[in-house]
Amino acid sequence: MLPLLNKKAISNQLTIRYNPLEKPSIPQAKWVDFQSKNSDGDGIYTQNLLMNYITENFSKKNARIIVSLSGGIDSTLCLALLRKALPHHKIIGITAIFEQSTDESKEAKAVAEKFEADFKIIPMKSIFSTLPELIGITKLPKWNTYNHVVAKIGKKFGQIFATGDGADEIFGGYTFRYNKFLNLTSERDNWKKKVINYLECHNRDWVTDQNNMFHSSVKFDWNEIYKYFHPYFSNKLEPLNQVMLADFNGKLLHDFIPTSNEICRKYKLYPAKLFLHPKIISYARQLPLEQKYDSKTQKGKLILRKISKRLEIKHLDDKKGFSPNLWIDWEEKGEAICESYLMKKDSHIFTQKIINYNWIKHAFNKVKQDNDIRYLNRLISILALEIWIRIFITKEMKITKELT
Q: Does domain 31-172+246-310 have CATH number 3.40.50.620?
A: yes
Domain residue ranges of the chain, discontinuous segments joined by +: 7-16+325-393, 31-172+246-310
Contact 16, 250 (CB under 8 A): yes
- 116-167 pLDDT tens trace: 999 999 999 899 999 999 999 999 999 999 999 999 999 999 999 999 999 9
Q: What is the pLDDT of residue 314?
A: 84
Q: What is the pLDDT of residue 60?
A: 84
Binned at pLDDT 50, 70 and 90, residue 2 comes out as low
Q: What is the pLDDT of residue 288?
A: 97
Q: What is the pLDDT of residue 321?
A: 56
Q: What is the pLDDT of residue 239?
A: 97
For the whole model, what pTM was predicted? 0.95
pLDDT at 202 over 90: yes
pLDDT at 350 over 70: yes
Q: What is the pLDDT of residue 200?
A: 98
pLDDT at 319 over 60: no
- 7-53 pLDDT tens trace: 999 999 999 999 999 999 999 999 999 999 999 999 999 999 999 99
pLDDT at 320 over 60: no
Q: What is the pLDDT of residue 61?
A: 81
pLDDT at 105 over 90: no
